[in-house]
Amino acid sequence: MKYLFFIMAFFCFEQTFAQQKLSLTLEQAQAYALEHNRKLKNASLDIQKAEASRWQALASMLPQAKVNFDYSNYCGYEMNFGPMVIAMNPSGNLAAQVAVALSGAQVIGTQLSAIALKMAEINLQKTQLEISNQVKTMYYSILIMDETLDLLSKNLENMKKLHQFTENSVKVGIAEQTSADQLLVQIAFMETGINSTKRSLEVLSNSLRLLLGVNASDEIELVQKMDELLSIESALQLLKTDFSLEKNYNYQLLKHSTDISKKQISMSEWNFGPTMSAFYQYTKKTYFGKDEGFNMTPPNLVGASVSIPIFSSGLKYAKLRDAKISYEEQLNTLNDTEEALKIQHSQLRYNLTSAHENFETQKKNIEVNQRVFDNISRKFEQGMASSLEVTTSGSNLISAQSSYVKALMELVTAQIALEELLNTDNK
């Protein structure tokens, strides 16, 4: 039992030691995610894979060298040409060959691999932008949820004070027990809301941990506050920013994908073209010290060939036609995407404008409901308002706070969505 205790203590110590605490600003959190996020690591590996494929295509056009060694033993067999007998002694050949083959399809293949490499690089940039914006959204969400928790906690504290005041009034006979009971039920609802908010906050924290690529047990402290980060002026400035298709990563990827489709047509056309090859071979033959037999192996050999396809039963033509159709489809998709992105830009501008207007309205609404609740609370303490009025104004305040938090989240989401489309960042 004693040993078990020590083992458990050591395990707990090891777990505690393995934990880390990160205190991060928004910019630091984004930088940390760009360094440790696993999705980004995969995007970086995709670039390495594309680079390897590109070198494979280039290497296929470069000379290829190989060395062969073979050994033959005829087991004492002799070639009999009447009066002439030739002994077939054991022999070995050491051959070195250099060959090169070239076709138009190989050239197109290198061009395709170069485009694929460029697409991998753009995809990495796109993933970096997405991860940064996801971290920003999660950072803001946690701060907003913290603010919600603070608002609910203040409401609960005020309601508990009113409930205690009512209980004291009941004891001296100037208030009814039902009034205290109503407030107690309201307190229970508030506590339930706070507990639910805490669970939602933990879910958001776990999502941020996943984006940062840290352990689930690591503690994350957000050192910036919402008032410090939220800039209405910067958000509204986005409405004046012109939209450039060329800066949008999705459009860039689709454009390169269209280029690939066009190159596939050239690839299919080169199926009708010739393939040229040439080689040089040097061979050294040995009979391992025995008499040289019937030797027809030249020490030097040079060769070249040109292969020209003539007839393939329409197979190559069908592939060419298929490539042209695919390219036409890709062009239609590119044109549709151009219009869709322009429409999306307009829609996101509308969303941000509406979100800002709603946020300003909800900010005024929460201020009014807070004043109403404070006024009715004072009247209740003076016996000029009922407990029903208190609970009603408290519910209205909670509803106003919920609408304010929702409007704030909509404003942040609309701002980040427009930033991502414009490929810009207003921190």
Residues in the chain with pLDDT values less than 70: 1-19, 289, 291, 293-294, 425-427
d(CA 180, CA 323): 79
For residue 52, give the DSSP letter: H
Give me the pLDDT at residue 92, please: 86
d(CA 160, CA 186): 9
Residue 195 burial (CB count, 10 A): 11
Residue-level length of the chain: 427
Give me the pLDDT at residue 16, please: 47
Whether the Cβ atoms of residue 135 and residue 208 lie closer than 8 Å to each other: yes
d(CA 162, CA 378): 9
d(CA 126, CA 250): 8
For residue 243, give the DSSP letter: P
Amino acid at 114: A
CA atoms in the 13 A half-sphere facing the CB of 70: 7
Nearest to 226 by CA among 152, 155, 147: 147
Integer CA distances (angstroms), 17 to 10, 22, 168, 217, in order: 10, 14, 50, 11
d(CA 403, CA 391): 18
Give me the pLDDT at residue 19, please: 67
The pair of three-digit structure tokens given for residue 168, joined into one six-digit string: 């004291």
Task: Tell if the pTM clears 0.85, that is, is over it.
Answer: no
Give me the pLDDT at residue 293, please: 65
Q: Is 62 helix (H, G, I), strand (E, B) or coil?
A: coil
Q: Is 211 helix (H, G, I), strand (E, B) or coil?
A: helix
